[in-house]
Structure 1
Amino acid sequence: MKILQVVGYKNTGKTTLITDLVHLIKANDKTVAVIKNHHLEEKVDDSTDTGKFFEAGSDYTILTTPGHVMLLENRQVTLTRLLERFQNEAVDFVLVEGFKQENYSKILLTFSFDDGETDINQIGLKNVLNYFDMRYDNKRALEWFKEWGNL
């Protein structure tokens, strides 16, 4: 299982690149999981049955549909714990958006339409394999990933 973190400031193209990487991985008949870390507390819609169970304090709430499963946990979970879930699932790639202070292999997206520090030497991240400015580097980022991921 290859793990790659995609980190960068808001509006640097993280979601767009991860979406492109998912398409690339699936086009090569590989499996992929995506984990997104959000810095804000997201509220579960408590007007749904699932939301009512969760808001009532259920430690775990699982929603199944004919084609999907959604798991809600009423606690904080570490990235390591989340990754452990995929160990027995034969997942080829895990793409992680965020968790920038973790020490997994990562790429840094450096351009932001907002103010932000973009000097890689001043950010203090560990294990940065490469960095890209997605205004110009989308193709280069995909080519780099193909080589890194042996696709």
Structure 2
Amino acid sequence: MTDLQLMTLDVNGEEHEVVAESRRTLVDVLRHDLRLTGTHVGCEHGICGACTVLVDDRPVRACLMFAAQAEGTRIRTVESLSQGTGECELSDLQRAFSEHHGLQCGFCTPGFLMLAEGFLAERPDASKEEIREVVAANLCRCTGYQTIVEAIDDCAAARRRAGKEN
């Protein structure tokens, strides 16, 4: 006998009604039910960070959260970063990752992007050392940490400059 639950999830600004077992993780519902496959499944133990999404603007490991726990929150996945309509236009953070070659194989990239997006919203004036400390929470098997740190630092600096111009 399965324990099915109807839940409404606010994902990337859109409400989705989902019927799922109460034991299903948020990452599984995002990927399999909502087809938002940008969020990757890595270790399924919360260690690697590949499944990082923002829940109420805070980075969360989606493999450690039941989808039912996310009801009533605002969830953002990596798909929320692109801008514009029609063809995908990269966000400033995605462009910085590309320009600094912080993408490598790309498997860990969505988790790093969402971790960085949440961190920069909270700490727009972070130093490189603080950025390095934060990104250490996610695993990159291609050893791209230096380029990831540089990308996040560059994006933060550009956002600060843009804020001063406005």
Highest relative contact order (Cα 8 Å, sep 6+), 1 or 2?
Answer: 1
State the TM-score, normalizing by the size of structure 1. Answer: 0.28
More helix by share: 2
State the TM-score, normalizing by the size of structure 2. Answer: 0.27
Larger radius of gyration: 1
